[in-house]
Amino acid sequence: MAMKLLEKVKKRAEKAESILLDKEPNIKLNGKFSVNMLNTKAKDPTDAIFGIKPDGTIAHFCISEMPHMLVAGTTGSGKSVLLNEILVTAMCHSTPDELKIGIVDPKRVEFGRYKKLPFMLADPITDMDEAYDFFEYLVILMHERYKLMEKAGLQNITLYNEYAEKNGLDRFPYVILLVDEYSQLVGTHKEVEGLIVQLGQMARAAGIHVILATQSPRSTVVTGIIKANFPSRVCLMVASDLESRIVLDEGGGESLSPKGDMIIKLVNGSMVRAQGAYISNKEIETIFNHLRNTMPEPEYVDYRAIVAESRGEGGEDEDFGGIGKAPVRKSAKRNLNTPLANSSSKEPSIEKKSTFALKLEKNKEEKEKQGAKTLEKLQAEKLEKVLKALDKADSEPQTSNNTNNEQPISSKTKPKTTDPKVSVNVTITTDKSEKKQVNGTTSPIMQKMLKAKKQVHK
């Protein structure tokens, strides 16, 4: 017997309470029940349910208005269920032409069921080097969209999509990027913070929205610049008052109950208390199977090829790790905004290294070569200076007066060089009217050069 999905928002534990959502269904499953979301029509494809408020009304928000969000909650707080709830309810009233989703999943297992969904830009990314490439692709996509909006004289995705619809152009789908276990990602790949901050600073008007989720909201992870660009926060149960203050800028998160009890801080600074809705794995699979059976197969964006092409055109010396610094890249010569037109469904080889890893190796090799070349160059320059000094001394005429009545040392006379590096003070003469003074510490190479010079003058 099929269960009604989201028609009953289940309260956890002893708070078993439900409400009915009346809405004309967008997706019919087996003709017996429907997936309902809001009492009124959704404003845009990023509308999502978070749960139920204390007064019994639904806590639903538009992700595009948040516009970027930080979600924090310790083990057992209900964080993963909330993230699934947000993505699933957004997909229930949208189409792949309106909404695209990208997921970075360091744990590898939490979002594996999202593979091959029509809404996905790519399968959930579990390799952190590939995650860097994916973030870089979204930055390229963002700049590409801004170029098209600038050309049309428009300021944001809403205006551009209206313009595109009137003029027969491709609309921009909204993009929701979910980064789970952000603390694990930034702990091993600190350089990704720069790309994420770029998206946080600039991607809103381009229709790209980021959700960062973490179990450990430490100050080293949730830095000041991250908080400044992620104004909306969701705090589920956290371990301490300090973690609550890092997320919400005030305490209280440590006193929340497990399993979905949350405080939502909106972009205007107001706080909303809510109890998360529960969606079982069976319900999620029912929805996903329906989407796979009724919609075209996804054609994934080949983001690594786009990034590699962009790096090749724009040069590889630009700093993508600088926080807030926008990359100066030439756009890849393809339509980055058409949901199903720029991709290759071919799965990448496991043995193939990411472009970021290859770039690191190349930079390391270049630095090693440069270091070796620099050492050789310095040695050559030093020898060249000595030879020039010798030639200059040979070309200068020697005065006939020897005030000190010193006897010059014959060119056949050799200084004692028992030590590899010795201090010498010798006068080398090529004839009776010419001499030169060489002072200092010489290496074995220098001693050979002096010897060769003497042999030439013989």
Q: What is the DSSP string of 337-401?
A: SSTTTSB--PPPPTTPPPHHHHHHHHHHHHHHHHHHHHHHHHHHHHHHHHHHHHHHHHHSPPPS-
Query: What was the pLDDT predicted at 395?
Result: 63
260 known member of a binding site? no
Higher-pLDDT residue of 458, 345: 458
Of all residues in the chain, what percent carry a pLDDT higher than 90? Answer: 48
Contacts of 279 (CB under 8 A, 6+ apart): 5, 6, 81, 84, 85, 88
Q: What is the pLDDT of residue 377?
A: 74
pLDDT score recorded for residue 249: 93
| Structural domains in the chain, sorted by start | 28-347 (3.40.50.300), 364-394+409-457 (no CATH)
Q: Specify the pTM.
A: 0.64
pLDDT given at position 133: 94
- Residue 77 in marked binding region: yes
Q: What is the pLDDT of residue 149?
A: 96
pLDDT at 427: 44
Tell whether 74 is in a known binding site: yes
The verdict on whether residue 78 carries a ligand-binding annotation is: yes
Segment 19-28 mean pLDDT: 32
pLDDT digits (tens, 9 = 90+) for 130-178: 999 999 999 999 999 999 999 999 999 999 999 999 999 999 999 999 9
Tens of pLDDT, residue by residue over 380-392, are: 777 777 777 777 7
Return the CA Rg of the chain. Answer: 34
pLDDT above 90 for 408 = no
Task: Name the residue with tokens 């809705």.
Answer: 277
Mean pLDDT of 288-307: 92
What contacts 210, CB < 8 A, 6 or more positions away?
Answer: 68, 69, 177, 179, 196, 199, 200, 203, 230
Question: What size, in residues, is the chain?
Answer: 458
pLDDT digits (tens, 9 = 90+) for 184-221: 898 888 889 999 999 999 999 999 999 999 998 999 99
φ/ψ of 11, rounded to 5, equals: -85, 145
Flag whether 440 is marked binding: no
Task: Please check if 73 is assigned to a binding site.
Answer: yes
Tens-place pLDDT, residues 413-448? 444 444 444 444 444 444 444 444 444 555 666 666
Cα angle 106, 338, 159 (rounded to 5 degrees) comes to 105
Give the contacts of 414 (CB within 8 A, at least 6 positions apart). Answer: 451
The 10 Å Cβ neighbour count of residue 341 is: 12
Is 75 among the annotated ligand-binding positions? yes
